[in-house]
Amino acid sequence: MKRFKARQACLALIMLISGVFFIAACGGGGGGDTGHWLPSNSPTVISTDPPSTADPFYIATNVCVNKLVTATFSKAMLASSITAPGTFTVKETLTGINVPGSVTYDATTRTATFTPAAILTVGLDYTATITTAAKDEEGNTLAANKVWIFTVSATVCALPPGGGPVSCLGPGPVDMGLATSFGVLVGPAAGATLTVTNPTSVAGDVGAASYVPAIGTPSPSTVIGTRYTGVDAPFVAAKADMLTAIGCASARACDFSYAAATDFATVVGLAPGVHCVTGAMSVGSNLTISTPGVYIFKSTGNLTSANTINLTLGGTANATNTSIFWVPTGSASIGTNNAFLGTIMPDASAASTLGANTTLLGGRVFSNSAVTLDTNIIAIP
């Protein structure tokens, strides 16, 4: 009996040792799947922002419109796998449409960041996904896709000191952050172009992803400031703050509401505040703003103006006590031979155009898509 028990123990030991060698053999070899079957080898996402939980039905709320979406991993990751197209995406949950943006990976913090190309839309749900294409430095992949959902609200994230606007929701002028010094700023959408049809003067910095004509030629012909290209650090920082500033203006609560196709030249007694139009807005004839303060004109459509009109300050309003911002969801097209006021900053990837011989004072021309200038004079506040 003792000999039988000893043989059982010996057999069990042999089976245990054989099992270890079998496991080692399964995990060894020169194949690209080395160790993948072992759950302990797989990297995981340990935190996200907006936050997520183990509950697949959890939806984070009150996420700001300029949110950078991040995920932090349990292990050092292969950066090229994280930034590869399709690994880290953000989509509109209902439509499944991809949000344009870029992905970066910080090896020090093991954090991947998705930066949207434009502000997110208030009220929509978004789904962030990191697929199993994400690998650690040993080639081990995520065991499963990481998916989390969040809802965007009418708030704006405060960026770190020196990183952009820190106060967005008013009641003062819209904080431009590092975009303050720019008279013309085009980007960050890929290929965002500044086109100068005829010589133009800008009292302020100019930045664009690309120029037509090329930057070496007069485009614009006179710049009292610095002209930056898409790779220059000041331009890269300013375009991020431009998007945040647009988000700030878009998130301001409405003080006055108007029907579609409102012509502000016909509105009697314009007062400072946030003026919201459902649909297109315009300035169809001469307009004088007489009361000092901050004016934000928002619309869910395009901004247009007639030709040969004057938008001026009068009464007690002047350049030091009055700020004007135009924030159409669609494009902005200012007519020819105008004297116009304020910062033009479309709330989407829409173009901004100044007609021939139009002067823009106390303002800027921004766009995430394209800007066209033609014999213009632009002076920042």
Instruction: Give the pLDDT confidence score for residue 190 in this predicted structure.
Output: 66
Instruction: Give the pLDDT confidence score for residue 216 in this predicted structure.
Output: 60
2, part of any domain: no
Q: Are residues 287 and 199 in the same domain?
A: yes
**Owning domain of residue 82:** 39-152
Query: Is pLDDT of 80 > 90?
Result: yes
- For 70, the 3-state DSSP assignment is strand
| 194-231 pLDDT per residue, tens | 999 888 999 999 998 888 887 666 556 788 888 888 77
Give DSSP secondary structure letters for 346-364.
-SSS--EEE-TT-EEES--
What is the C-alpha to C-alpha distance for residues 32 and 337, in angstroms, rounded to an integer? 66
- Give the Å distances, CA to CA, from 275 to 188, 262, 297: 27, 10, 5
Q: Are residues 237 and 369 in the same domain?
A: yes
Helix (H) or strand (E) holding 129: strand 125-130
Query: Is pLDDT of 34 > 50?
Result: no
138, part of any domain: yes
Q: Are residues 346 and 240 in the same domain?
A: yes
190, part of any domain: yes
| Residue 130 banded pLDDT, cuts 50, 70, 90 | very high
Q: Report whether 244 contacts 177 (CB < 8 A).
A: yes
Lowest mean pLDDT among 117-121, 246-250, 361-365: 117-121
Query: Is pLDDT of 136 > 90?
Result: yes
What is the C-alpha to C-alpha distance for residues 164 and 178, in angstroms, rounded to an integer? 6
Q: Are residues 137 and 240 in the same domain?
A: no
CA dihedral 223, 226, 231, 237 (to 10 degrees): -120
Query: Is pLDDT of 6 > 80?
Result: no
How many domains, the chain? 2
161, part of any domain: no
213, part of any domain: yes
Query: Is pLDDT of 286 > 90?
Result: yes
Lowest mean pLDDT among 219-223, 319-323, 336-340: 219-223
Q: What is the mean pLDDT of residues 50-78?
A: 91
* CATH number of the domain to which 59 belongs: 2.60.40.1220
- Give the Å distances, CA to CA, from 215 to 52, 156, 206, 218, 371: 45, 34, 11, 7, 15
